[in-house]
A = this chain, B = another copy of it.
Amino acid sequence: MANSFGTLFRVTTWGESHGPAIGCVVDGVPPRIPLSEPDIQHWLDKRKPGQSRFTTQRREPDTVQILSGVFEGKTTGTPVSLLIQNEDQRSKDYDDIKDKFRPGHADYTYWSKYGIRDYRGGGRSSARETAMRVAAGAIARKVLGTGVTVRGALTQIGPHKIDRARWEWDAIEDNPFWCPDRQAAQLWEGYLDGVRKAGSSAGAVIEVVASGVPAGLGAPIYGKLDSDIAAALMGINAVKGVEIGAGFGAAELSGEANADEMRMKDGKVAFLSNQAGGILGGISTGQDIVARFAVKPTSSILAPRRTVTIAGQETEITTKGRHDPCVGIRAVPVGEAMIACVLADHLLRHRAQCG
């Protein structure tokens, strides 16, 4: 079950970066939802590599095929199977690392666990798998309907944070970083060029905001919406931290500043702040759901690093191949997709129990 997530809107992915294809099966999709390949391709294209000099120059057209679950343009309620052929595989790039563990990668842990590993491009642990998350997220968005929007933005690269006062959602399509602060985006260009030329890499922080989520989604105790979001985001490659609302900053707030007060507005409950990030007791409040996650710098760098071989010999390694100087950039659409999947799952779960 390690390769599935979700309770009712359930996604199972499979595939290695250098195998013949990758794919996923999405079970539990409600019937009669219009769905076609372009609906999914739209989101995949956002994640696609090679769109700027700041992402890997691998060329993966990532053309998705729907193999089941859709009939005459609508979902049938049966599992939707999606497949993407792998195309631009240069397995030879990996020959010299076949017996060495790359620091910061999953090489050593997969080998420790399984006693065997598909070393080509990270195999199953490659970020290539996240394409299927984005594809599943596209279906999740359809389940959520147009009333719910899920948008992500990069709020920090390396040590450089955006100025939240300059946040413009419109800006994120205008720069190669999904950055909502136009000034920061310019600064980042110079910074990341330097990182890239040095053969190094940088980390990042991404914020995802879901608007239009009704109050009541989520469930107590171990089915909490924030708990499922935390699992979903922490499960993305290279993620090391997750926050909801005020997040770690909440530790520094006073009780007065932290608890969002409530008033009535147009006959509805309105909160005066959103430190909670739209979730209380694991259940949505109706405010924007705000989640943030930190991505570590790409582990594949040009500088030689000390490591060991499968045989237990000390050695050094230099990662060649084509890599993202900041994997956090392409993590934006992945984070959005994961949140969309969690919300779709909880929408169905809520409907099941509460009608």
Contact check, B3 vs A27: say whether CB atoms are below 8 A apart. Answer: yes
Contact check, B4 vs A12: say whether CB atoms are below 8 A apart. Answer: yes
- A190 on the B face (CB < 8 A): no
Given contacts A252-B158, A303-B256, contact A220 B3 (CB under 8 A): yes
Annotate A1-37 by CB proximity to B: 1 below 8 A, 0 otherwise.
Answer: 1111101101011111001111101011111100000
What residues on B are CB-neighbors of A109 within 8 Å?
Answer: 215-216, 218, 279-285
Stretch of A163-171, A178-186, A343-351 on the interface side: A343-351
Contact check, B258 vs A297: say whether CB atoms are below 8 A apart. Answer: yes
Determine the distance from Cα of A2 to Cα of B219 in the docked complex, in whole angstroms: 6
Contact check, A202 vs B255: say whether CB atoms are below 8 A apart. Answer: yes
Partner of A353, one of B28, B106, B299: B28
Annotate A152-170 by CB proximity to B: 1 below 8 A, 0 otherwise.
Answer: 0000111100000000000
Given contacts A255-B301, A296-B246, contact A14 B262 (CB under 8 A): no
Determine the distance from Cα of A113 to Cα of B213 in the docked complex, in whole angstroms: 13
Contact check, B5 vs A1: say whether CB atoms are below 8 A apart. Answer: no
Partner of A23, one of B13, B67, B276: B67
Contact check, A203 vs B68: say whether CB atoms are below 8 A apart. Answer: no
Which residue on chain B has the smallest CB distance to residue A28?
B353
- A101 on the B face (CB < 8 A): yes
What residues on B are CB-neighbors of A116 within 8 Å?
Answer: 31-32, 71, 74, 76-77
- A209 on the B face (CB < 8 A): no
What residues on B are CB-neighbors of A286 within 8 Å?
Answer: 112
How far does the Cβ of A245 sit from chain B's closest Cβ, in whole Å? 6
| Size bracket, chain A contacts | 35 or more
Contact check, B215 vs A296: say whether CB atoms are below 8 A apart. Answer: no
What residues on B are CB-neighbors of A147 within 8 Å?
Answer: none
Determine the distance from Cα of A101 to Cα of B280 in the docked complex, in whole angstroms: 12
Contact check, B19 vs A67: say whether CB atoms are below 8 A apart. Answer: yes
Contact check, A242 vs B241: say whether CB atoms are below 8 A apart. Answer: yes
Annotate A49-88 by CB proximity to B: 1 below 8 A, 0 otherwise.
Answer: 0000000000000000101110100101111110100000
Partner of A77, one of B113, B234, B245, B263: B113
What residues on B are CB-neighbors of A259 within 8 Å?
Answer: 102-105, 297, 299, 301, 305
What residues on B are CB-neighbors of A282 within 8 Å?
Answer: 106, 109, 235
- A332 on the B face (CB < 8 A): no
- A193 on the B face (CB < 8 A): no
20 A–B pairs (Cβ distance < 8 Å), ordered by A: A1-B28, A15-B68, A32-B115, A71-B116, A74-B116, A77-B354, A78-B124, A103-B259, A109-B281, A125-B281, A202-B255, A203-B251, A226-B235, A227-B235, A240-B243, A241-B250, A243-B294, A262-B308, A264-B312, A264-B313
